[in-house]
């Protein structure tokens, strides 16, 4: 006998988050009969009963904490075989159309267990449906244990009972484990496992000033005592990382002792993504060598049981930085750790749960204007963004991103999926990782793109890889992609009209053959016009101009007629040879890069003048100086259109230096001047009706001082700036995809 009911399709982040037991509990409460299962499109429910309307509404309104429900689609249906009660049935296979849940930090219930005296007391791999590894252990969809790196761990009777009980919070928690059946943890030295409690031995080593390699969720960290300057310096020397700030791990009390933490920042730290969050220092509570010259520290809470146990046993804050050779990807396997980190670590805290996918820690900050994502990685990836209105029926597209901050973007079914941070593709091992990620994402999400979007620069490895796929190719100018990514995050409609985009970053090839990086564009997804730009200056020495800030300062000072000042500030630099090469136009391509302008001013002020030891070192030092001063008035410069000269700016800075003005004030005035330079151009476009809003995009907008200065000058205007995606090249692929979809594939 047939029965009338409905078939309910729930789409979104609904697998691996306890959605099926939630549906089971909800159905029992309302009196619904039927079944629920996972399949490749999400969650499918077949149901009948008197309370179907309230049942369907509660699927969205009462969803589990890690769930993200995009849609609940209800269709009338007739059934011949509905069960008397309500059942959870096995997952169905098929093309992967559902979302993958990012890894989630340990929940309060699991933390209480590991700190308690039950059977999971002190167990470093405790998890449930509300927390634990997801993407880092996933090998294929649907998300079931056999498709993860937990497949090799057979459940004991107790775990199997919990796994099978819909009323238990571990029902179908795929990484479920306990000391009797799950992964194990140990400490080893020189490849030899040491007897005893691995956590206790690691804490003892850390207290002794040693470096410990800690195998975590998406890779291996190098840890040391954050309050021991000798230990931090030892780590710097071993890793050959003289200046770049180290990330820190601590509990909330430790973090609040070191930094000023607002309620919004505390909430962000406690988010299931557990990102590294940049926080303002308020005193000296960690070693000065953790973040030399910086006013901010990067903190994260412990996000796995292993981290909680180690931190509690150690009793103080820890440096927790990526375990890798300089420039290479973070190591993820036991063999890699032993081979590549032997020269860095005195001891290794290891486990035998394989890491299926390398994931760096996400890095974020909270500004007065909302959150800012600096690195999109563990806990956030693979993130999905709804395509803006007008793109609903767009074909599947693959976008390759740029050379720096490598990341891929896949579009399908009205959504864009942005990959995790893959790194800078100049490094051979990172390039190998990028190519593996291409295959990984294509297989994991059963993606069959109709075309591929690439950067205009033919020398980029990502561009070359996209062109080699044999698909129709759309070449997208670098800064156009930045503009599209920013407005796309905000859901700007496909035919929403033009926006004034202030695009400030390092380097991107322009269609005129010069290197862009400081532009005001008027455009949308379909195209753009270049309205204003920094007057180009030679990149003296080509790539060396990125590594040696003094080169940019000398060129800009010479352009301003201040060659004598350059001679005094950089007496030991090879100035004559550089000037000769510039005059002969040898290895000195023209560039309007805002990033190189920041480098030039930093060098002039004596901040990292000769060589950067890490990307953006000079700009970060300049920002720190400006933060130490506070809000300042800009230098008064002549009005300009088209190419914006910098001569008057450098003459004004030189005058301040001559009168002994503090570096902090000059840095603050420089930031304010850059903001006024570009915001005045953008305001004019809005005021004349040519643009409907202003977009702030490009890696320079990771600078909070610059962002705040621009927002102050755009008060009263509609401003679009990043809050969920990185302003840097980490979101470039998303913008490329939107431009390619708007322009259409070549015939």
Region 650-672 average pLDDT: 97
* Residue written as token pair 């000023």: 260
**Percent helix, strand and coil across the chain, each to the nearest 5:** 35, 25, 45
pLDDT band at 94 (very low <50, low <70, confident <90, very high): low
Q: CB 168: neighbour CB atoms within 10 A?
A: 16
pLDDT tens for residues 402-461? 999 999 999 998 889 999 999 999 888 899 999 999 998 998 888 999 999 999 999 999
Nearest to 731 by CA among 409, 449, 378: 409
Structure-token pair, residue 483: 């503009």
Minimum mean pLDDT range among 286-300, 439-453, 621-635: 439-453
**Residue 114 vs residues 111, 119, 366: alpha-carbon distances, Å:** 5, 9, 31
Query: Prior bond to 382 cis, omega within 30?
Result: yes
67 and 133 housed in the same domain: no
User: Measured between alpha carbons, how far is 733 from 504 in angstroms, rounded to an integer?
Assistant: 17
* Residue written as token pair 């806990």: 379
- Show Cβ contacts of residue 289 under 8 Å, excluding neighbours closer than 6 positions: 229, 232, 233, 236
Specify the CATH number for the domain of residue 151. Answer: 3.90.870.30
* Residue written as token pair 């030891």: 613
293 and 333 housed in the same domain: yes
Structure-token pair, residue 34: 């039927």
User: Is position 38 annotated as part of the catalytic site?
Assistant: yes
203 and 309 housed in the same domain: yes
Does residue 411 fall inside a structural domain? no
54 and 139 housed in the same domain: no
Ranked by mean pLDDT, the top range of 51-60, 524-533, 537-546 is 524-533
Catalytic residue among 38, 127, 228, 728: 38
Q: CB 507: neighbour CB atoms within 10 A?
A: 24
User: Measured between alpha carbons, how far is 425 from 407 in angstroms, rounded to an integer?
Assistant: 10
**Residue 513 vs residues 204, 508, 516, 552, 645: alpha-carbon distances, Å:** 58, 10, 9, 20, 20
pLDDT band at 93 (very low <50, low <70, confident <90, very high): low
Q: Answer for the pair 111, 308: CB distance below 8 angstroms, yes or no.
A: yes
Nearest to 420 by CA among 146, 125, 733: 733
Query: Prior bond to 644 cis, omega within 30?
Result: no
What three-state secondary structure class fits 652? helix
Residue 363 pLDDT = 97
Q: CB 610: neighbour CB atoms within 10 A?
A: 13
Specify the CATH number for the domain of residue 697. Answer: 3.30.420.40
- Among residues 351, 376, 397, the one where a domain terminates is 351
Does residue 506 fall inside a structural domain? no
User: Range of 279's domain?
Assistant: 185-351
Catalytic residue among 11, 20, 120, 556: 20
Nearest to 287 by CA among 249, 232, 243: 232
User: Measured between alpha carbons, how far is 605 from 565 in angstroms, rounded to an integer?
Assistant: 12
Nearest to 222 by CA among 306, 337, 52, 118: 337
Q: What percent of the chain has pLDDT over 70?
A: 99
**Residue 446 vs residues 138, 141, 383, 741: alpha-carbon distances, Å:** 14, 9, 17, 20
Q: Answer for the pair 35, 88: CB distance below 8 angstroms, yes or no.
A: yes
Q: 601 phi and psi, to 5 degrees?
A: -70, -40
User: Measured between alpha carbons, how far is 38 from 603 in angstroms, rounded to an integer?
Assistant: 57
Number of structural domains (the chain) is: 4
566 and 678 housed in the same domain: yes
pLDDT tens for residues 706-720? 999 999 999 999 999
Burial 430-442 (b: 16+ CB within 10 A, else e): bbebbeebbebbe
Does residue 426 fall inside a structural domain? no
pLDDT at position 506 over 50? yes
33 and 71 housed in the same domain: yes
Q: Is 97 exposed, middle or buried (0-12, 13-18, 19+ CB in 10 A)?
A: middle
Partners of residue 12 on adjacent β-strands = 69
Does residue 733 fall inside a structural domain? no
570 and 711 housed in the same domain: yes
Q: Is 291 exposed, middle or buried (0-12, 13-18, 19+ CB in 10 A)?
A: buried
The pTM for the full model equals: 0.93
Does residue 511 fall inside a structural domain? no
What is the torsion angle, in degrees rounded to the nearest 10, for the CA atoms of residue 602, residue 607, residue 611 and residue 612?
-80
The Cα angle at residue 132 between residues 127 and 138, in degrees rounded to 5: 120
Residue 420 pLDDT = 94
Minimum mean pLDDT range among 37-41, 65-69, 237-241: 37-41
Partners of residue 721 on adjacent β-strands = 696
Region 3-29 average pLDDT: 89
| Chain-centre distance for alpha carbon 648 | 37
Region 613-632 average pLDDT: 93
**DSSP labels, 728-745:** SGGGHHHHHHHHHHHH--
pLDDT tens for residues 97-132? 556 789 999 999 999 999 999 999 999 999 999 999
194 and 174 housed in the same domain: no
The Cα angle at residue 229 between residues 228 and 232, in degrees rounded to 5: 90
Q: Answer for the pair 275, 268: CB distance below 8 angstroms, yes or no.
A: yes
Structure-token pair, residue 558: 């010479």
Does residue 466 fall inside a structural domain? no
Specify the CATH number for the domain of residue 80. Answer: 3.30.70.100
- Among residues 183, 203, 227, the one where a domain terminates is 183
pLDDT at position 344 over 60? yes
Specify the CATH number for the domain of residue 273. Answer: 3.90.870.40
Q: Find the DSSP H helices in 102-210.
A: 108-114, 157-164, 198-207
pLDDT tens for residues 237-246? 999 899 999 9
Residue 203 pLDDT = 98
pLDDT tens for residues 357-389? 999 999 999 999 999 999 999 999 987 889 999
Structure-token pair, residue 256: 């609040």
Q: What is the mean pLDDT of the chain?
A: 94
User: Measured between alpha carbons, how far is 575 from 571 in angstroms, rounded to an integer?
Assistant: 8
602 and 657 housed in the same domain: yes
Does residue 492 fall inside a structural domain? no
User: Measured between alpha carbons, how far is 77 from 380 in angstroms, rounded to an integer?
Assistant: 37
pLDDT at position 95 over 60? no
pLDDT at position 40 over 80? no
Q: Answer for the pair 155, 146: CB distance below 8 angstroms, yes or no.
A: no
Counting Cα atoms < 13 Å in the Cβ hemisphere of 493 gives: 6
Does residue 488 fall inside a structural domain? no
148 and 269 housed in the same domain: no
198 and 327 housed in the same domain: yes
DSSP state of 212: E
User: Measured between alpha carbons, how far is 400 from 580 in angstroms, rounded to an integer?
Assistant: 38
User: Is position 20 annotated as part of the catalytic site?
Assistant: yes
What three-state secondary structure class fits 688? coil
pLDDT tens for residues 542-588? 989 999 999 999 999 999 999 999 999 999 999 999 999 999 999 99
- Among residues 157, 183, 209, the one where a domain terminates is 183
pLDDT tens for residues 139-173? 887 778 999 999 999 999 999 999 999 889 998 89
Q: 719 phi and psi, to 5 degrees?
A: -120, 130
Q: Answer for the pair 13, 68: CB distance below 8 angstroms, yes or no.
A: yes
Strand order in 383-386's β-sheet?
383-386, 415-418, 409-412, 397-399, 451-455, 473-476
48 and 173 housed in the same domain: no
């Amino acid at each position: 006998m047939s029965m009338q009911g409905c078939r309910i399709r729930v789409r979104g982040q609904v697998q691996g988050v306890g959605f099926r037991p939630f549906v089971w509990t909800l159905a029992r409460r309302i009196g619904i009969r039927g079944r629920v299962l996972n399949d490749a499109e999400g969650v499918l429910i077949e149901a009948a009963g008197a309370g179907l309307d309230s049942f369907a509404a509660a699927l969205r309104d009462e969803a589990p904490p890690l769930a993200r429900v995009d849609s609940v689609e209800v269709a009338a249906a007739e059934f011949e075989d509905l069960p008397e009660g309500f059942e959870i049935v096995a997952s169905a296979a098929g093309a992967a159309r559902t979302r993958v849940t990012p890894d989630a930090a340990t929940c309060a219930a699991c933390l209480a267990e590991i700190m308690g005296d039950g059977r999971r007391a002190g167990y470093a791999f405790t998890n449930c449906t509300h927390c634990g590894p997801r993407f880092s252990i996933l090998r294929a969809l649907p998300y079931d244990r056999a498709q993860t790196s937990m497949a090799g761990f057979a459940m004991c009777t107790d775990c199997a009972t919990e796994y099978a009980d819909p009323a238990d919070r571990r029902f179908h928690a795929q990484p479920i484990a306990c000391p009797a059946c799950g992964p194990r943890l140990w400490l080893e030295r020189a490849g030899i496992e040491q007897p005893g409690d691995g956590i206790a031995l690691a804490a003892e080593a850390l207290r002794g000033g040693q470096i410990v390699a800690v195998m975590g969720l998406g890779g291996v960290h190098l840890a040391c005592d954050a309050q021991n300057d000798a230990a931090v310096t030892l780590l710097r020397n071993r890793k050959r990382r003289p200046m770049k700030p180290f990330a820190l791990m601590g509990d909330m009390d430790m973090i609040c002792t070191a930094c000023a933490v607002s309620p919004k920042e505390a909430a962000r730290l406690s988010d299931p993504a557990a990102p590294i969050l940049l926080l303002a220092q308020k005193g000296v509570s960690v070693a000065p060598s953790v973040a030399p010259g910086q006013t901010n520290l990067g903190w994260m809470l412990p996000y796995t049981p292993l981290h909680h146990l180690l931190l509690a046993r150690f009793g103080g804050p820890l440096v927790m930085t990526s375990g890798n050779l300089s420039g290479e990807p973070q190591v993820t396997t036991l063999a890699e750790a032993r081979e590549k980190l032997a020269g860095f670590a005195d001891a290794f805290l290891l486990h035998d749960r394989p890491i299926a996918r390398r994931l760096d820690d996400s890095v974020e900050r909270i500004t007065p204007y909302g959150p800012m994502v600096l690195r999109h990685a563990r806990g956030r990836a693979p993130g999905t963004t709804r395509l803006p209105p007008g793109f609903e029926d767009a074909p599947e597209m693959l976008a390759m991103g740029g050379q720096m901050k490598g990341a891929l973007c896949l579009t399908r079914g009205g959504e864009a999926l942005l990959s995790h941070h893959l790194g800078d593709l100049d490094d051979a091992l990172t390039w190998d990782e990028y190519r593996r990620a291409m295959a990984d994402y294509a297989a994991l999400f059963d993606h069959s793109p109709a075309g591929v979007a690439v950067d205009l620069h033919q020398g980029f490895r990502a561009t070359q890889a996209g062109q080699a796929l044999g698909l129709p190719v759309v070449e997208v100018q670098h800064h156009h992609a930045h503009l599209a990514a920013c407005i796309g995050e905000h859901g700007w409609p496909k035919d929403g009209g033009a926006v004034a985009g202030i695009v400030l970053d390092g380097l991107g090839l322009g269609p005129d053959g010069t290197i862009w990086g400081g532009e005001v564009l008027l455009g949308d997804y379909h195209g753009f016009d270049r309205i204003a730009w920094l007057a180009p200056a030679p990149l003296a020495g080509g790539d060396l101009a990125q590594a040696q800030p003094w080169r940019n300062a000398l060129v800009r000072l010479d352009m301003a007629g201040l060659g004598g000042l350059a001679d005094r500030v950089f007496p030991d630099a090879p100035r004559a040879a550089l000037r000769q090469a510039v005059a002969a136009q040898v290895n000195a391509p023209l560039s309007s890069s805002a990033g190189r302008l920041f480098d030039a001013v930093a060098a002039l002020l004596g901040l990292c003048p000769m060589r950067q030891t890490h990307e953006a070192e000079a700009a970060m030092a300049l920002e720190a100086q400006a933060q130490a001063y506070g809000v300042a008035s800009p230098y008064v410069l002549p009005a300009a259109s088209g190419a914006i000269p910098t001569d008057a700016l450098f003459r004004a800075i030189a005058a301040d230096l001559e009168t002994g003005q503090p570096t902090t004030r000059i840095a603050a005035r420089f930031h304010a001047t850059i903001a006024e330079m570009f915001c005045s151009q953008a305001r004019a476009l809005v005021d004349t009706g040519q643009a409907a809003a202003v977009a702030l995009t490009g890696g320079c907008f990771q600078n909070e001082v610059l962002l705040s200065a621009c927002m102050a000058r755009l008060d009263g205007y509609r401003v679009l700036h990043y809050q969920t995606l990185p302003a840097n090249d980490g979101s470039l692929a998303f913008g490329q995809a939107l431009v390619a979809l708007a322009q259409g594939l070549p015939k």
